[in-house]
Structure 1
Amino acid sequence: MKRQKRNRDERAYSRGYQAGFRGRPREFCPFGALEARGNWMRGWREGRTDQIQGMVGVAGIHTLRV
């Protein structure tokens, strides 16, 4: 049975979260479509919030999605 690809919205959110957590500026959003861009920005905001609050290393494990 073939594995299904992850949802595009979920992928955009995940990439945005990673970019925000790494401190990258939001102007580097690679998505042009409105819905994907919105999900990327939502992930970016949450990633920045976690970085600012110090959710790095072991403290941030609970935010990982499996």
Structure 2
Amino acid sequence: MKRQKRDKLTRAHAKGYQAGISGRSKENCPFQAYDARSHWLGGWREAVEDRQLGYNVR
């Protein structure tokens, strides 16, 4: 059975989370489209919040 690709917005969120958890700035968002950008920033915000709570995943 072939593996199904994940939704682009889900991937944008995951990439934003990875950027946030590694300490990158939100200005480094690679997406220009509004939907993808908002999902990326949502993931970034979650990661920053998790880092403040002490979930340092490196």
Report the TM-score when normalising by structure 1.
0.81
Describe the superposition over 1:3-57 as per-residue Cα deviations: whole angstroms up to 9, x where unpaired: 1111101100000001011110000000010000000000000001101110125
Q: How does 1:54-65 map to 2 (within 5 A)?
A: 54-57=54-57
CA distance in 1, matches of 2:25, 2:56: 18
Gaps of 5+ in 2: none
Runs of 4+ in structure 1 deviating by more than 6 angstroms, as ranges, are none
Aligned residue number for residue 12 of structure 1: 12
Aligned residues: 57
Moved more, 22-31 or 1-10: 1-10
Aligned residue number for residue 34 of structure 1: 34
- The alignment's C-alpha RMSD in Å is 1.0
Percentage of matched positions with identical amino acids: 51
Gaps of 5+ in 1: 58-66
Aligned residue number for residue 21 of structure 1: 21
Greater relative contact order (Cα 8 A, min sep 6): structure 1 or 2?
A: 2
Report the TM-score when normalising by structure 2.
0.91
